[in-house]
Structure 1
């Protein structure tokens, strides 16, 4: 089984380099360059250059920097403050109102940024201390933040869904749309958990009198009207795709235009803000594009050694039930994403998973959507989930142990959701099938 030795060497080198703390793209470049030189000699660098060139000129990847820019403009313009106040007013005078507000905001921010770590850190720094000062439970607040932030890879526009769709040759529009129903289902389950917890222990939320006193002034209609610009941005992205007016690439461009118009509408636009947004977007986009280009070459090297074919033959030759194989394939990201970045795992796993998905007869939209959820669950699983450490580091006074305890109900909610999606695949495939 020479292919297994090759896989062990390749992945061992990658994980070993990442363990040193260097950037993911540098680890991929080092392994690719070394493997090319050892296997093919100097002549192999021609293939290296062609692979990188082909990857960086793929039209589908244009969506990545555009979605990043859209999120940067919305965050840096400060227009999210308007969204917070509007959602807070619309939720109204209900027990534990801010739990619901934070869940909605985390869901929206997660969709805009695509990064669970970024959302959990941002809300942990800005919102959680405010909730504690108002009498909300820090443990429940942390659970809600983790649940909402963890929807980032699922609810569109999802950067990870775009990367998977591009690498696995799956419809990007299909993957984006497939995340809508599962994302709503997980949000509803989290909301149910909030209300059941408050009913069981009313002390985790302020009194009704305090809730009423802290309800923002103004009418619900006014709050709804102030949210229209954000609804416009969402329509410019997902509405265009679902109506068949624009491709994901085109809708990403219209999303940027919508974000600019929102910043102008709220009178938060400035040359300095746009410069910072562009600078940050360019840096992050360049790093991601280099990683993707390196991953494409990595998959070619794996195929060149016969490892991809060998893995497929080995897996299918085990004679295991497809459901058992599916569970095995899902446990791997659940464990590894406690230690490594989600994008890093995607770039390592897609070249190996793709032929297995085809050989085992799985629906690709269904398979990759559930994989996205498992990537997130790995990031919030103790004791190594890095999203947990991001929240603990960002929230003053919130210990790692308390964050760990806060993650357990979130893990249960996500695992229940995955089981439902396995039992009822239409939860994932229904909406893409009718678009």
Structure 2
């Protein structure tokens, strides 16, 4: 086989191993080293020491160092810590129940409250698994007690939990900025309206669905509704402080007052302050938050090391060039290129997570953007929207497995799958809207930072 053929074989083998259940980070690392040893092999092994005189080990060392010293990625552990502290401060519990009462006159009030809570909390944490797990323990039992249809309730939680990788301050956008060498500030600004529109479409779907079939989400009983003064006081205490913290973090970034890392540090401190104000800050909870932050950060960092090593070897073997030449050779129009790229990313979302797609596959398309005259920030928002589906697409819909993991026998996996299918269509609708009206993604960054010039 020629080197490009080896690269394609390497890619296919990786997808096969992932489908078989091998750990993704270490599979990437092992395959990158194994195929890299072949790619960089100079020939001639006369002693045991010669086994390790291969440039793949230097590449692995450099990639590890690059990840650990990347200033942009410093924001990741700080945002994670903020999310874990907020999660353990019992703020989300109060937020959900107060929003539920405030939205009591809307069809599917609990589902609406769950979506808003998911959007707010996922924005603070940026971890899909944590949001879906917590809301599965908090919101699903409440909806089940209110006789909500199982599939309907599960779909709301799974779809709402993925919003955190899109709505700023998003960890995924930080990673994208590092990979594509784009401004994280512009990416955050570009994601504001697409994120809000997608959340709004989710809520519109819930309301319309309940209006058509009220039996899937019965109205709350009158005797269960507290006095209005208590509802608004609870909402003031739970919703305003957390939202203010998020707006402060996001505003300082978009206003150019702080870098994402600096804003994340401020958010982490703000999370601790909120925990103190809610009288829920204990040494045990701080230790748990630090431990979980370190664990998640280590996992993310090794995933990046493995992904970048794999991607470097894949590119060195000619895999990127082969795919680029094939796409350019199709003589596509710009809109056809965008459709092809998004279809490929959508299909990759079935077996892979967003991080592998970003680090391995998105760089294949990035050099082609100039060829087809596509704004890189517009393309980034299409990808960010598309990656929502990587958590919602059966059979590897991670949101469904997170929810099933906490609910156990309370619901069947196939019921969760049925519940999330409509939200896939909503994501695609949002992508179509943004394609038709690019200003949804480009107006705010152009307004705040001036028109983008390649």
The answer for the alignment partner of 1:381 in structure 2 is 393
| Matches of 1:174 and 1:10, distance apart in 2 | 35
Task: Name the counterpart of 2:5.
Answer: 5
Which of 411, 417, 424 is the matching residue for 1:404?
417
- Distance, in Å, in 1 between the alignment partners of 2:20 and 2:414 is 26
Distance 2:174 2:439 in 1: 21
Deviations 1:56-103 (A, max 9, x none): 211111011111111111112322222223323433444432121111
How far off is 1:205 after superposition? 2.8
Q: 1:336 aligns with which of 348, 353, 367?
A: 348
Cα distance in structure 1, aligned partners of 2:213 and 2:446: 42
Provide the rounded CA distance (Å) in 2 between the counterparts of 1:203 and 1:13. Answer: 47
- SS of structure 2 residue aligned to 1:151: helix
Matched residue, 1:16: 16
**Alignment map for 1:92-111 (pairs within 5 Å):** 92-111=104-123
Q: Are residue 317 (structure 1) and residue 329 (structure 2) matched? A: yes
Question: What is the deviation of 1:163?
Answer: 1.0
- Aligned equivalents of 2:222, 2:342: Cα separation in 1: 42
Q: Is the 8 A contact 1:116 1:149 kept in 2?
A: yes
Contact 2:392 2:424 in 1 (8 A): yes
Aligned mate of 1:214, from 217, 225, 228: 225
Cα contact 2:75–2:264 (8 A) shared by 1:
yes
Query: How far 1:376 sits from its partner (Å)?
Result: 1.7
Correspondence 1:90 to 2:81: no
- How many angstroms does 1:362 deviate by? 1.5
Asked if 1:371 is matched to 2:371, the reply is no
Residue correspondences, number: 434
Match of 2:184 in 1: 172
Distance 1:18 1:198, change over 3 A: closer
- C-alpha offsets along residues 205-263 of structure 1, whole Å, 9 cap, x if unaligned? 3346x156334760515522443321232023201112211111111111111111111
How far apart in 2 are the matches of 1:314 and 1:190? 37
Aligned to 2:85: 73
Q: Which runs of 5+ in 1 are unaligned?
A: none
Contact 2:349 2:393 in 1 (8 A): no
Q: Which of the numbers 409, 416, 424 marks the counterpart of 2:429?
A: 416
TM-score normalised by the chain length of structure 2: 0.89
Q: Any stretches of 5+ residues in structure 2 without a counterpart?
A: 42-52, 449-454
Q: Deviations over 1:10-53 (max 9, x none)?
A: 21232233334332221122122223322224240223322321
**TM-score, with length taken from structure 1:** 0.92
